[in-house]
Amino acid sequence: MRGKGILRSVLCVAALLSLGCAAWAALPDGNVRVGVVMPTSGTLAYDGGLALNGVKMAVDEINAAGGVNGHKIELFVEDSAGVPATAVAAMEKLVGMQKVVAVIGDFGSSGTLAMMDVAKRSQTPLITPISLAPKITELGNVWTFRGCDSSEMIAKAFTKWAVQEKKLDKWAFIGVNTDYGRGSVDAFGKKVKDLGGEVVYTEYFQQGETDYYPIITKLKASPANTLCLLGETVDLSRVVNQFHEMGLQEKITVMDPTSGTFNPKFLELAKAKANGIIGASRFVASIKTPKAEKFVADYQKRYNIPPEKYAQAGYDVAHMVAIAVKNADSTDTAKVREALAKIEYEGPQGKAHFDAKNQLQIGEYIIAVKDGKFEIVAGPIMAE
Amino acid sequence: MLMVFLQQALNGIILGCIYALIALGLSLIFGILEVANFAHGEFYMLGAFMALFSMSGLGVSFFPALLIAMIGMGIIGAIIERAVFRPIVGKPLINSMLLSFGLSTALANLALLLFGADPQKIESGLADYHLRFFGLHLTAERLMVLVVGVALVTLLAWFIQSTRTGKAMRAVSQDRVAAQLAGINVSRIYTVTFAISGALAAAAGTMVGAMFFVSPEMGFSVTLKCFIIIALGGFGKIRGVIVAAVMIGLAESLGGGFISYAYKDAYPFLLLVLLFMLKPQGLTGGSGR
């Protein structure tokens, strides 16, 4: 009799201990704290707001479905104003005072590059949903993740499709005379040549230029069958207008791989002349997969506008962080980082995982303008 | 290659027509009032907006809008002359330079405030008609610019050469005091000069607004270019200015097409430097018109 009592009490203690152990390993009480650094003021405020829309919608979805193992996610949003120094201060505040498990941000590449050092020093995972500069994932900072494509991946997928699938082999480049324009022309030109195509014509223009007849006339006399544009909305609308005035649209396909023309202002300025311009994007609202259709419908209902790639990336990245915390079953930042690196994710954009450099591997869609809408021409195409 | 050259030359001549319209007004003001009007590009910008708003607001078509803009800017030009430039006529050139720089900034910023920075397009409805001849390519819109430009310049030349007011303008530009002694109402001539310049600038602005865009900052670079043109062509000389305007248009078009487009804004300045080195007395020589 007495022996049984002892056994029972031993069992009780063991049970209590094991419970205690379980409680110690799992998520601590309280909310899971996640930081966000996005420009919510300044010139990038509108675009940053779109990414934030996506993040907030994802978090509300997760919390409504019971949170992460029963713990709600709590967001701490800081404004980077599109300024690297402000982004660093915001990141310091999030890791130092709010003790977040991970930080989502920034928008511009220079902001993200500046925040990466804080991520490494404070050992907090940083994941950017937007920044495109290839350098971010090339620096070997294991604490930094890119939850979207890089400009390098876009260029690879785009040229692969254009040169190999569409047999567009004679390329002309018209680019803005800046680091961005000249850098992109070099990068794209090299990829075209690697794939067996030719660069037959390259011209640069000054920002704000109005008369493009001299170079369009020259383009007309060149053997080009592809015109690749690298610039901003207003300048490119003039190029496209004058390109049509010279009647070149029958002979030459217009490409805009960095999406300077895929916005409402361009469509307003170029009207029907925008038709047929081809670009690349990791996401458009017309993707027909169940996950994408549900995301588009929910987003449209919540914000009254269709989602684009910024909102999609914010949404996906917030989900990835939640899954990483769930898989790690801990708020220890090192464990969350490990779990994030191993994640197998499927969202509205498609299936995704991180490579050894913490670069998300996703496909690109080739899109074209048709009557003021963006249609999917091909994809998803993987860069490799 | 020849076709490309001819096409570039044609583009350059059309550009030159636009420059001639703006530079002639600037040159007239300089020759007759002896003031430098750095706000001339803003006349051109305001004229373009006037045409744009007559089309969107009043619903008129392109050519009536062009006329409205010319009349409107003629009146505004006259008012600006009376209110702003009249008090400083006869004072050192630096006065008018500073004053007109201020006026230019004020007008450009006022336009920015009232109309916004977004560029807008004037729809002439002619850009979709294409003409092809001898392998050259031209839209009806560009042909219209050529025709209207040549017509207005011819009209101006006739006006100055043959009408009473035109003769009086020439008299004032030669010798203000003598003209006054001969019974010419010099103040009236000043007002007429500004009105004509404003109207010509408005015509140019409207046509550029159709070919390219209308925006508040469109005026500034044009003013600078037109000062180069009148320096090349000779201050106050009509024929010289027309030749210089076409030369600058050709230099931009051919230089941009055959040398490098990225540096096309440098060619007019190079031309100016060359001219001053080779022919310091100006394109049309030292005297006569």
Whether A177 and chain B come into contact, CB under 8 Å, resolves to yes
Q: How many CB pairs under 8 A join A and B?
A: 69
pLDDT at A23: 42
The percentage of residues in chain B with a pLDDT greater than 70, rounded to a whole number, is: 97
Nearest CA in chain A to B208: A210
Average pLDDT over residues A157-161: 90
B155-169: pLDDT as tens digits? 999 999 999 999 999
Whether A251 and chain B come into contact, CB under 8 Å, resolves to no
Dihedral angle, C-alpha A304, A306, A309, A314, nearest 10 °:
30
* ipTM > 0.85 for the complex: no
Q: Which residues of B touch A202 (CB under 8 A)?
A: none
Could you say which of B121, B218, B264 has the minimum Cβ distance to residue A269? B121
Contact, A360 vs A354, CB < 8 A?
Answer: yes
Average pLDDT over residues A313-329: 96
CB–CB contact A265 B3 (8 Å): no
Chosen from B10, B131, B137, B217 to mutate, greatest number of chain A CBs within 10 A: B137
Q: Which residues of A touch B254 (CB under 8 A)?
A: 214
CATH superfamily of A152-281: Response regulator (3.40.50.2300)
Q: Which residues of B touch A246 (CB under 8 A)?
A: 137
CB–CB contact B262 A246 (8 Å): no
pLDDT at B289: 40
Whether B8 and chain A come into contact, CB under 8 Å, resolves to yes
Count the neighbouring beta carbons within 10 Å of the beta carbon of residue B59. Answer: 9
Average pLDDT over residues B147-153: 94
Q: Which residues of B touch A272 (CB under 8 A)?
A: none
Whether A180 and chain B come into contact, CB under 8 Å, resolves to no
pLDDT band at A339 (very low <50, low <70, confident <90, very high): very high
Does residue A12 surpass a pLDDT of 70?
no
Chosen from B1, B4, B8, B11 to mutate, greatest number of chain A CBs within 10 A: B11
**Cα B283 off chain centre by:** 19
The domains located in chain B, with CATH, are: 2-270 (1.10.3470)
CB–CB contact B213 A238 (8 Å): yes
Domain boundaries, chain A: 32-149+289-362, 152-281
Does residue B147 surpass a pLDDT of 80?
yes
Q: Which residues of B touch A238 (CB under 8 A)?
A: 212-213
Contact, A210 vs B207, CB < 8 A?
Answer: no
Whether B7 and chain A come into contact, CB under 8 Å, resolves to yes
Does residue B236 surpass a pLDDT of 80?
no
Nearest CA in chain B to A182: B262
Amino acid in position B149: G
Could you say which of A204, A213, A220 has the minimum Cβ distance to residue B253? A213
Count the neighbouring beta carbons within 10 Å of the beta carbon of residue A160. Answer: 18
A16-58: pLDDT as tens digits? 544 444 444 578 888 999 999 999 887 788 889 999 999 999 9
E strands of B106-189, at which residues?
130-133, 136-139
Q: Which residues of B touch A204 (CB under 8 A)?
A: 261-262
Average pLDDT over residues A76-87: 93
State both tokens at B279: 């022919």
**CATH fold match for the domains A32-149+289-362 and A152-281:** yes
Closest CA to B27 of B275, B200, B145, B154: B200
CB–CB contact B212 A234 (8 Å): no
* Averaged pLDDT of chain B: 89
A235-277: pLDDT as tens digits? 898 899 899 988 898 889 999 987 778 877 788 888 888 898 9
Does residue B151 surpass a pLDDT of 90?
yes
Average pLDDT over residues B188-196: 95
pLDDT at B288: 41
Q: Which residues pair with A364 in a beta bridge?
A: A381
pLDDT band at B220 (very low <50, low <70, confident <90, very high): confident
Whether A275 and chain B come into contact, CB under 8 Å, resolves to no
A113-142: pLDDT as tens digits? 999 999 999 999 999 999 988 889 999 999
Tally of residues, chain A:
384
Would you call A277 helix, strand, or coil by DSSP?
coil
Could you say which of A208, A215, A234 has the minimum Cβ distance to residue B261? A215
Whether A202 and chain B come into contact, CB under 8 Å, resolves to no
Whether B180 and chain A come into contact, CB under 8 Å, resolves to no
Q: Which residues of B touch A218 (CB under 8 A)?
A: 4, 8, 257-258
From the options 1.20.1560.10, 3.40.50.2300, 1.10.3720.10, 3.90.110.10, give the CATH code of A32-149+289-362: 3.40.50.2300
Euclidean distance between CA atoms A72 and A26, whole angstroms = 14
CB–CB contact A211 B262 (8 Å): no
Could you say which of A203, A210, A217 has the minimum Cβ distance to residue B4? A217
Euclidean distance between CA atoms B13 and B11, whole angstroms = 6
Whether B208 and chain A come into contact, CB under 8 Å, resolves to yes
Could you say which of A205, A213, A265 has the minimum Cβ distance to residue B11? A213
Average pLDDT over residues B111-135: 84
pTM of the model as a whole: 0.73
Whether A215 and chain B come into contact, CB under 8 Å, resolves to yes
State both tokens at A177: 């005379």
b/e A65-94 (16+ beta carbons within 10 angstroms → b): eebbeebebebbbbbbbbbbebbbbbbeeb
Could you say which of A214, A238, A269 has the minimum Cβ distance to residue B264? A214
Contact, A138 vs A174, CB < 8 A?
Answer: no
B174-184: pLDDT as tens digits? 888 999 999 99
Euclidean distance between CA atoms A283 and A99, whole angstroms = 33
Chosen from A177, A207, A210 to mutate, greatest number of chain B CBs within 10 A: A210
DSSP for A247-276, please give it.
T-TTT-EEE-TT-SS-SHHHHHHHGGGGTT
Nearest CA in chain B to A206: B262
Does residue A384 surpass a pLDDT of 90?
no
CB–CB contact B261 A246 (8 Å): no
Average pLDDT over residues A97-104: 96
Would you call A195 helix, strand, or coil by DSSP?
coil
pLDDT at A21: 43
- State the smallest CA–CA distance between residue B212 and chain A in angstroms: 6
Contact, A105 vs A41, CB < 8 A?
Answer: no
CB–CB contact A214 B256 (8 Å): yes
